Structure 1
């Protein structure tokens, strides 16, 4: 761990980090708890004053150094990521670039935190709005994007003048350790960035009870997000929550099927289907249903499953046995209720790994668990629909509202369809909509706030209204 510029925790018990491709331990991290979290919070609090007083240009200088260091160390970051959570190496390299883009974007966006001058309602006054950094920020991040989820939070927090404490997932903490090394090389002052690993419950308890933490930013499950909302109430801590999804993907009769298949492949099978915005429910209009299933299945059958360190692999392992068991149960439930497996459908557990074949299932219906719950695996269920109204009804019938996808060549149909979808992100003929310069976040139970774009930095500043009497 790194607290107040020092590498600490060597005296603590450790937690093993296991490669899900082969079950082998690839490293250990200290099993920190409340005491270490308190130390990190104190360090961040003490560093906040000097850091927030720097100009936006000075803070941008540090971030630009970090951005370049991330690019210079892309391969090592990617290799660590693949070793600890199984992501195919080419995807890991892509994630490092994606993660670095947030640091670059917010280095510049910090220079554009504008206040306001408002026309006064009486003579002799000047009305202004100042923007001030929130304070100490604690980030809790998931295992599936171990560096991008950190930089999407770190970039805007630091650019706005906040100080930062990160708590990565216990399943993939080693990437965060390497990122912390790069922050150290970039020269950030002591205490501005702190890294704590270990017990999620104990560290979160310290974060929630310490009044010095003014902002929590979390990516993870809706269940945990709801718990954080309850825990934050006592101190009215500010929250940014990017929570669960259950993304629908709609293919209309007039869609370009090659575009649609390419889009579904990009969305569904990235990170073995273990992403919060991947297509989980595919609705295809009856006029192209059979043709789409055939073309899509042919593409899926070409995917190679294996250890992510192999350059030719497309689908890596699931994160752990529990993840594999969930995927298995969803597939078994669908088949029992009448769905048909077109390709795949089986677990692969050779050599200690936890893999599942890339799978296409047709003739699914809303009674099946996979159409109601996020599978989080490489399984693509397809349901036949007749009308656009039916597509909208099925798509919106969920408590989640993170991402949705629409494939149609008709601008009028696409526009009207998307206007009715209750999702924070929509890909129209696009299976990969994420970027640093756009707002990322969901409606309904998929979260609070947006990350990325100019909205992403607003979450880390407070508006202070100042009324000045001019005597």
Structure 2
């Protein structure tokens, strides 16, 4: 599938990069080119910052009801373009078609939930003065320009976590999607443009992180920087953001054990263990890193788990009823292969999988694996 040439969305306009740079986006399922996107540089990042300043002044001056009308208009436009956005997600990162709905659902729910959640948030609240010498008020106001760096594994769900609260609270936002899965975000920018959303309130661009993200983080314009990604990247963003006092919100790398006691509901634990490890091809922020199974049920749990893993179906495409797609990139697959080899070299037993499936001639496929 070819999504064509896609432009950044900055200051209410669809724009090319200032230096006309573009980047080809490759489908991880078959390594085909699916889009050619405008590739931002530091000048584009500066343009987004300046646009967001203007957008904030306009947007923060609106009432919550007025903001809610625009958010609802965007929500309806997303629903009308649901199929296009779902196809973009499965082609840019290999997600199964059924799983792509979670991204859409999160986005439309976010645009509906946060205006309601903040309905009473902006009312001034009196705080008792025990000494009767002062008047104390708690006043809530939008923080200012926000910058959001997003992970590639849930392209629109991750946007949902940021755009809903930012818009409802009266903030403008600059969204930098991952360079591995920017297509759905750029298409969202086109949808926002088509409904004539107030300019500068939402800005979407992608480029080399060392250039674009560094420019955004080091700027004194953002009042809040938020990120979903690795711990190492988070440290870099925090360091770069120290050019001024900013609020920081980071969802960084996890290290999750999966523990099953002998009195647990066996079938429920098994279903969850399969879903949390192999859903989205294991590319989930809260995916289990290791399993601890009580010795009384260890053998039966392992046997049943392996039987279930053997039945997982790999494939790609809207009409394919599958459980797993490919990994996001060749580098990601190489990293997994090194981890598996290292584990085996250090005493782990390969119970299932551990190879590149032969039936896929192209793409970044890897068998469901149990060590």
Deviation, 1:186, is: 4.1
Cα distance, 1:308 vs. partner? 4.1
Q: 8 Å contact 2:14–2:193 — kept in the other structure?
A: no
- Residue 62 of structure 2 corresponds to 54
> 2:214, 2:237 within 8 Å by CA — same for their partners in 1?
no
**1:131 aligned partner:** 140
SS of aligned partner of 2:326? coil
Question: Which of 324, 348, 364 is the matching residue for 1:354?
Answer: 364
Aligned residues: 361
- CA root-mean-square deviation: 1.5
Question: Residue 74 of structure 2 is aligned with which of 58, 63, 66?
Answer: 66
From 280, 286, 289, the equivalent of 2:289 is: 280
Give distance in 2, aligned partners of 1:174 and 1:113. 34
Aligned with 1:166: secondary structure?
A: strand
Superposed counterparts of 1:230-241, under 5 Å = 230-241=239-250
Q: Does the 8 Å contact 2:12/2:196 carry over to 1?
A: no
Instruction: Give how far 1:42 is off.
Output: 0.5
Cα deviation code 1:215-238 (max 9, x no counterpart): 111111100101111112221221
Aligned to 1:294: 303
1:2 corresponds to: 9
2:107 aligned with 1:99, yes or no?
A: yes
Give the match for residue 183 of structure 1.
192
Which residue in 1 is equivalent to 2:183?
Answer: 174
Aligned partners of 1:19 and 1:86 also within 8 Å: yes
Task: Identify the residue that residue 38 of structure 1 maps to in structure 2.
Answer: 46
1:122 aligns with 2:131: yes
**Is 1:256–2:273 an aligned residue pair?**
no
CA distance in 1, matches of 2:292, 2:79: 39
Cα distance, 1:73 vs. partner?
A: 2.0
SS in 2 for 1:352: coil
2-structure distance, mates of 1:187, 1:62: 10
User: 1:103-114 alignment to 2 at 5 Å?
Assistant: 103-114=111-122
Structure 2: runs of 5+ lacking an equivalent: 1-7
Name the counterpart of 1:78: 86
Q: Distance in 1 between matches of 2:216 and 2:10?
A: 15
Unaligned runs of at least 5 residues, structure 1:
362-471
Q: What is the CA deviation profile of residues 231-267 of structure 1, one whole-angstrom value per residue up to 9, with x for unaligned ones?
A: 1222122111111112111000011111111111221
Shift >6 Å, 4+ stretches: none
**How many Å separate the matches in 2 of 1:130 and 1:45?**
22
1:83 and 1:309 in contact (8 A); partners too: no
Pairing partner for 1:142 from 130, 151, 170: 151
Q: Which shows bigger deviation, 18-27 or 88-97?
A: 88-97
Q: 1:320, 1:9 → 2: CA distance?
A: 26
3-state DSSP class of the match of 2:119? helix
Contact 2:39 2:207 in 1 (8 A): yes
Q: Is the 8 A contact 1:103 1:152 kept in 2?
A: no
